[in-house]
Structure 1
Amino acid sequence: MAPIQGLGTIGIWTMELRADGPEQLGAVQEAAAELDELGFGSVWIGGSPSVAQAAHVLEATRNLTVGTSILSIWQHEAADVAAQYGALPPGVRERFVLGLGVSHAKLAAQYARPYPAMKEYLAALDGAPVPVPAERRVLAALGPKMLGLAADRAAGAIPYLVATEHTAQARETLGGEAFLAPELPVVLDTDLSRAREAAREHIDFYLALPNYTNNFVRLGFTEDDFKSGGSDRLLDALFALGDAERVRERVREHVAAGADHVAVQVVVPGGRNLDAVRPKWRELAEALVSDR
């Protein structure tokens, strides 16, 4: 299956563009429109957004590809997802990518047999009155089995919180044709100590989730790397810490390892904050958009 076209190399991954209520919608759509104007190829909305929430961003933009990264299969029924996809206007639908994932046992009470569950979910999308075609869906795959499924039953994979070594391994597993778009968290701060502090605040939540730590172990990290918010070695492998030029270098490392596209997530102290990340997006656009 041919990789998803038109995204270029650089996109933005963010939870800030998930409007959880009407009071947030105006600010979210204004920020999305600016991302479009800045020239990024895509925006990936985190936090298990619905297709309807992604539609708000699609409505506010003209060129951006908008993806869910990821929509949890435990939180959203396949029939509802397909119906919301079918409700998108055909021209808008061409800019939407459904990113799916199995989430984590600690976050989903019904979590069980994730690989068979994903296969069943994809089959339900195939059988819907308006199917979500394989070429418009991607999987948040980390391990080899889910990566194989991403190559066979979807356009490819959108791994989250991975080192370049994982990107190289994922490309080998996926083969040469499947789409591969890892997420890259970045802290735009040239004070390395302060940047690592922000990175540790961000990663602390994920270090309690075995799906991630098991993947880190496959890459050669140990339990010692998971203590106290993560070792310097782990943070340096997963994050881009420093200025926009450092982010550019890390993006190119992922591309050299086999990525088609890299979704950059701006990390700021204190967590989700649309007003705080928007200036950082502008800073990144100046340095990165020419690489599209």
Structure 2
Amino acid sequence: MSDRTSEGRTSSAQEAVGRYGVWSAALRSEDPSRRGELTEAAAELEELGFGAVWLGASSAVRHAVPLIEATSRLTVATGIQSIWQYEAAETAAHWAELEKAHPGRFLLGLGVSHAVRADQYRRPYSAMVGYLDALDAAGVPAGRRVLAALGPKMLELSRDRAAGAHPFLVTPEHTARAREILGEGPLLAPETKVVLDTDPHSARAKARGSLAVYLGLPNYTKALRQFGFTDDDFADGGSDRLVDALFAWGDDDRIRERIGAFRSAGADHVALQVVVDQPRDFLPRADWRRLADLLR
């Protein structure tokens, strides 16, 4: 293992993000008029005790800047930035500028996205290796980046060339396997989805509304097949078995238990995506407050 994966390096990443964070596509926007709304939400998340926010929807370094400027401790991470969308040199330059202004506050989450979403998609593992080589050459430390890893090879790369892994749409069983591959040092920060609804019918309906887009992406279904899910589970928006494996829903105790299962399986940090039946840019601030309360 490379010396870039020393325990001291990964410990700093774990300390930076804390035990729980919030994953949200709504916290990144290209609309300048939303800046006040987003920064106010980020400041509240910090006050609520979350250690990190993960910016979804192919976010980039620039999207983290206003949230970092509006807070004092919160780690802001991309969850994830597609390597096809932003050149490594551009990413490194933006990282260096942000690091100079706010040292240690940003974590670069990188991923290879999906073939149906990137015209230039090719040899994704080799492309990621090349991207990391370019970041190394530009001076972006391995300990300040994580990879959106699902399979063994990308998890090994997360261990050897990054601070750790940020798997998306996974189960606690995947987390346990990922921890075996990563070992004890690297950061393991899976994303999981939360539906604050106790009614099985409406909770699963909200979950399926969120899940549908991911079931059309082979990277996710391939990974889920490794844990016993089949075409029957992927049909009609997802079986109850699949929904219940991927979403924490129900009363507070049940949600706490489901989130705790990731920690018990080896996660250092859990990035929590609250699922609501609202437009994509909606900020579920009342739900974030309730989530913070039940995690105390």
Instruction: Give me the TM-score of the superposition, normalised by structure 1.
Output: 0.95
State the AA in 1 paired with 2:148. A
For 1:261, the equivalent position in structure 2 comes to: 269
2:282 and 2:71 map into 1 onto residues whose CA distance is: 17
For 1:45, the equivalent position in structure 2 comes to: 55
TM superposition shift of 1:271 = 4.2
* Contact persistence 1:188–1:243 (CA under 8 A): yes
State the AA in 2 paired with 1:205. V
1:34 and 1:243 map into 2 onto residues whose CA distance is: 24
Is the counterpart of residue 169 in structure 1 residue 187 in structure 2?
no
State the AA in 2 paired with 1:95. R
Q: What does 1:100-139 correspond to in 2, within 5 Å?
A: 100-128=110-138, 131-139=139-147
**Of 67, 75, 85, which aligns to 1:57?**
67
Q: What does 1:218-237 correspond to in 2, within 5 Å?
A: 218-237=226-245
Q: What does 1:117-266 correspond to in 2, within 5 Å?
A: 117-128=127-138, 131-266=139-274
For 1:68, the equivalent position in structure 2 comes to: 78
State the AA in 1 paired with 2:105. R
* Contact persistence 1:180–1:259 (CA under 8 A): yes
Instruction: Give me the TM-score of the superposition, normalised by structure 2.
Output: 0.94
Deviations 1:176-204 (A, max 9, x none): 11110000101100111100000001000
1:237 and 1:271 map into 2 onto residues whose CA distance is: 24
Q: Secondary structure, in 3 states, of the residue corresponding to 1:236?
A: helix
1:57 and 1:243 map into 2 onto residues whose CA distance is: 31
For 2:292, the equivalent position in structure 1 comes to: 285
1:245 and 1:186 map into 2 onto residues whose CA distance is: 13
* Contact persistence 2:195–2:274 (CA under 8 A): yes
Moved over 6 A (4+): none
**Of 86, 100, 111, which aligns to 1:90?**
100
Give the unaligned 5+ runs of structure 2: none
Deviations 1:35-55 (A, max 9, x none): 111111111010111101111
* Contact persistence 1:184–1:239 (CA under 8 A): yes
Cα RMSD of the aligned pairs, angstroms, is 1.1
Q: Secondary structure, in 3 states, of the residue corresponding to 2:110?
A: strand
TM superposition shift of 1:23 = 1.3
Deviations 1:205-261 (A, max 9, x none): 000000000001011110100000000000111110123332221121001101000
TM superposition shift of 1:6 = 3.2
TM superposition shift of 1:91 = 6.1
1:98 and 1:67 map into 2 onto residues whose CA distance is: 6
* Percent pairwise identity: 57
Q: How many residues align?
A: 286
Give the unaligned 5+ runs of structure 1: none
2:268 and 2:69 map into 1 onto residues whose CA distance is: 26
State the AA in 1 paired with 2:77. G
TM superposition shift of 1:7 = 2.3
